[in-house]
Amino acid sequence: MENKVLIAPSILSADFSRLGEEIKLVEKAGADWIHVDVMDGVFVPNITIGPLVVKAVRPLTSLLFDVHLMIDDPVRYVDQFAASGADLVTFHVEACKNSKEVIEKIRTNGKKVGISISPGTPVTAIQDVLDKVDLVLVMTVKPGFSGQSFMAECLEKIGEIRKKYSGYVQVDGGINEETARGAISAGSDILVAGTAVFGEKDYAEAIKKLR
Ligand code: DX5
Ligand code: ZN
């Protein structure tokens, strides 16, 4: 059966001491994109990786690098992540004063643009830029950490976006074999998964189960 759902393993749950190898393994296992969670300790209470790490692992795979910026005032770092090899840069509407400025900055760098909403943010917050982005990321956990439980109340927003938007609708947080079904039927076409891929022994089997 033809199934167009894409799987983007989040390297936040990978073994960082073997990061390059982990990326190659998920590519071999059938991953579609590599999801990179960038956190600054300000927008979210966690600090993860920066442009140097993206640059170091970028040559190891031909998969699309999906960089999820969970940083305050993201416009400041777009150039650096683009130069490091991000193909798609997603930022949070809650983290910036002017979304259009960030979108413009990402476009100027020739990259795909994503905009994200946290669980407490309504779809109306991104309404005026929907026609300017390639992807909308609906967070189904509070951004900051992997391994949290899926917030089913966010599914409604996926459906609401899907109705009026033809780009990618990505879902991120608490995705597993079970929650993936609800996200896909609500209209999501890209699933981010950290624990549900890197927490399993057989990555290929784990990815197959999510589709
Ligand atoms: C959370 C990150 C997610 C996280 C997902 O802030 O944006 O990408 O790594 O991890 P799981 O799939 O374990 O919820
Ligand atoms: Zn993410």
Residues 27-40 pLDDT 10s: 999 999 999 999 99
**CA 11 to ligand 2 center in whole angstroms:** 9
Q: Is the pLDDT reported for residue 166 higher than 70? A: yes
pLDDT confidence of 4, banded at 50, 70, 90?
confident
Identify any residues that bridge with 70 across adjacent strands, giving them in sequence order. 39
pLDDT, one tens digit per residue, over 118-162 is 999 999 999 999 999 999 999 999 999 999 999 999 999 999 999
* Structure tokens given for 63: 């998969």
Residue listed under structure tokens 């999510």: 210
Residue 172 known to be catalytic: yes
CA-nearest of 153, 145, 146, 124 to 136 is 124
Question: For position 36, what pLDDT does the model report?
Answer: 98
% of the chain residues with pLDDT over 70: 99
CA distance 85 to 55: 6
How would you classify the pairing of strands 190-193 and 33-39? unpaired
Q: Of 32, 40, 66, 172, which one is the catalytic site residue? A: 172
pLDDT, one tens digit per residue, over 170-201 is 999 999 999 999 999 999 999 999 999 999 99
Question: For position 117, what pLDDT does the model report?
Answer: 99
CA-nearest of 65, 14, 20, 71 to 41 is 71
Amino acid at 119: P
CB neighbour list of residue 181: distance below 8 Å, 6 or more residues apart: none
Query: Nearest bound ligand to CA 10?
Result: 1
Q: Taking a C-beta distance cutoff of 8 angstroms, is the pair 91, 66 a contact?
A: no
pLDDT confidence of 1, banded at 50, 70, 90?
very low
Work out which ligand 1 atom sits closest to the CA atom of 46: 6
Mean pLDDT of 52-65: 98
173 lines ligand 1 (CB under 6 A): yes
Q: Taking a C-beta distance cutoff of 8 angstroms, is the pair 170, 150 a contact?
A: no
Residue 37 known to be catalytic: yes
Q: Taking a C-beta distance cutoff of 8 angstroms, is the pair 79, 109 a contact?
A: yes
46 lines ligand 1 (CB under 6 A): no
% of the chain residues with pLDDT over 90: 98
Question: For position 3, what pLDDT does the model report?
Answer: 61
